[in-house]
């Protein structure tokens, strides 16, 4: 999975969920940054803005918005 979230200028933020191979990932996007949280499933490797990130259950990964 690869993520490269954007935030439209008129929005304050948004969140969504992605289900993949038994995992459930919450994605929160605000002007302060992006937060990926594995809510369900085994640890998962994803790419965020092209960089590999390992998600573990209930351990949020935060990065600056690009």
Predicted TM-score of the model (pTM): 0.93
Sign, CA dihedral 59-61-23-43, equals negative
Query: What digits encode the pLDDT tens for the residues 46-58?
Result: 999 999 999 999 9
> Where residue 26 falls among pLDDT bands split at 50, 70, 90?
very high
Q: What is the pLDDT of residue 65?
A: 94
Average pLDDT, integer, range 18-22: 95
Q: What is the pLDDT of residue 16?
A: 98
């Amino acid at each position: 999975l690869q993520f490269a979230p954007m935030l439209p200028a008129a929005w304050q933020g948004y969140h969504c969920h992605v289900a993949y191979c038994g995992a459930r990932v919450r994605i929160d996007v605000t002007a302060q940054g992006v937060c990926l949280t594995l809510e369900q499933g085994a640890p998962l490797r994803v790419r965020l803005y092209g960089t590999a990130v390992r998600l573990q259950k209930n351990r949020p990964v935060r990065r600056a918005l690009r």
